[in-house]
């Protein structure tokens, strides 16, 4: 893979991906939706491997939303099967490449065999330090927030927190991502301009990259484009250009941006 133009010292630490378009990919080719998901699984492998090679520390993949439980039974069944197969096949590879797997979401709804396999992979890879893959399964951002509120409310009730002590740090520590830094880059494939209940709290200052490419076609070259675009962005976190780089900004002519 030719990584020309990519500045290895300015990579995102955490990339999150909304993997969308498997169904459309299949429909365009007259294939079953399951075939689209199967192809999508190969894209998962491609982005995991490339992230690991580049040294990206965290990769979050929105694999199954809470809303996805409402899809036809056959499709849910096929997706759960693909997921389990992925975990079985990829576990040795994760071990070899130093990848730690974590999952977020409402695991209680997962079929018992998926839960068992997931538990095994999470345990087997728990000491790996090369990269963390965060699989969002039966996840939704609002559900994450509701559960965070409940956890904090219980602690207040038990007396371990005073209400006025609750701040942004407290909230971040009680959403499912906990100590994982917020995503720097959120990629969405297949062109829809929405977040679809993925990370909500966590993406306050995340750079968004939306591509019309369908997920099964999103491979190394597409990922590289997203990373290059990320490196062209100027992240200001609500500050002005002058505050971020006073010397450079003072040489610019007239342009003043003080909005977020
Ligand atoms: C969206 O496509 C994708 C999903 C609902 C699931 C993502 C699943 C995979 C990539 C395969 C297995 C996952 C792992 C982690 C191995 P869609 O069906 O919503 O596509 P559409 O919008 O075109 O119908």
For 18-32, what is the mean pLDDT? 98
Answer yes or no: is the C-beta of 125 below 6 A from any ligand 1 atom.
no
CATH number, domain 10-141+181-252: 3.40.1180.10
Specify whether 2 is catalytic: no
**pLDDT > 60? residue 125:** yes
Beta strands across the sheet bearing 131-139: 99-104, 131-139, 58-65, 14-18, 185-188, 207-210
Q: Which pLDDT does position 157 carry in this prediction?
A: 97
What is the number of other CB atoms lying within 10 angstroms of the CB of residue 82?
A: 17
Ligand 1 atom with least separation from CA of 25 = 23
The pLDDT tens digits of the residues spanning 145-163 come to 999 999 999 999 999 999 9
- Which tokens go with 34? 């399951």
Task: Write the CB contacts of 61 (distance below 8 Å, at least 6 apart in sequence).
Answer: 16, 17, 19, 44, 47, 133, 134, 135, 136
Compute the distance between CA of residue 79 and CA of residue 58 in angstroms, rounded to an integer.
Answer: 23
Nearest ligand 1 atom to the CA of 27 is 23
Q: Is the pLDDT of residue 25 over 70?
A: yes
**φ, ψ for residue 183, nearest 5 deg:** -60, 140
Share of the chain above pLDDT 90, in %: 88
Is 68 part of the annotated catalytic residue set?
yes
SS3 assignment, position 64: strand
Residues 258 and 241: beta-carbon distance below 8 Å: no
250 pLDDT more than 90: no
Task: Check whether 45 has a pLDDT greater than 80.
Answer: yes
Pairwise CA distance, residues 204 & 217, whole Å = 28
CA of 223 to the centre of ligand 1 (A): 17
Question: What pLDDT score was predicted for residue 256?
Answer: 44
Decide if pLDDT at 110 tops 90: yes
Per DSSP, the residues of 120-156 read: HHHHHTTT--SEEEEEEEEE-HHHHHHHHHHHHHHHH
pLDDT band at 247 (very low <50, low <70, confident <90, very high): low
Ligand 1, atom nearest to 68 Cα = 5
Going from the C-alpha of 19 to that of each of 93, 210, 252, the distances in angstroms are: 21, 11, 39
- Whole-angstrom CA distances from 112 to 77, 79, 109 are 12, 14, 9
Q: Cβ(37) to ligand 1 under 6 A?
A: yes
Cβ burial of 122 (10 Å; 0-12, 13-18, 19+) is middle
What is the CA(19)–ligand 1 centre distance, in A? Answer: 6
Q: Is the entire prediction scored with pTM above 0.85?
A: yes
State whether residue 104 is helix, strand or coil: strand
Per-residue pLDDT, 26: 98
> Which pLDDT score is estimated for 249?
54
């Amino acid at each position: 893979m030719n990584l020309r133009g990519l500045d290895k010292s300015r990579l995102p630490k955490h990339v999150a991906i909304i993997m969308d378009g498997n169904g459309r990919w299949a429909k365009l080719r007259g294939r079953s939706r399951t075939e689209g998901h199967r192809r999508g699984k190969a894209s998962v492998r491609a982005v995991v491997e490339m992230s690991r090679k580049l040294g990206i520390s965290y990769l979050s993949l929105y694999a199954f939303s809470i809303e996805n439980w409402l899809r036809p039974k056959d499709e849910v069944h096929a997706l759960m099967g693909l997921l389990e197969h992925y975990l079985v096949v990829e576990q040795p590879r994760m071990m070899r490449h130093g990848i730690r797997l974590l999952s977020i979401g409402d695991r209680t709804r997962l079929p018992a065999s998926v839960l068992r396999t997931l538990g095994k992979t999470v345990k087997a890879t728990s000491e790996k330090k090369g990269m963390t893959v965060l699989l969002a399964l039966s996840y939704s951002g609002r559900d994450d927030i509701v559960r965070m509120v409940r956890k904090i409310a219980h602690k207040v009730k038990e007396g371990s927190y005073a209400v006025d002590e609750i701040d942004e740090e407290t909230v971040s520590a009680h959403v499912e991502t906990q100590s994982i830094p917020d995503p720097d880059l959120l990629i969405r494939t297949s062109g829809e301009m929405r977040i679809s209940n993925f990370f909500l709290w966590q993406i306050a200052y995340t750079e968004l990259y939306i591509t019309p490419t369908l997920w099964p076609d999103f491979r190394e070259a597409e990922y590289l484009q997203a990373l290059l675009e990320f490196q062209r962005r100027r992240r200001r976190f609500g500050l002005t250009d002058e505050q971020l780089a006073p010397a450079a900004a003072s040489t610019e002519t007239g342009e003043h941006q003080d909005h977020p």
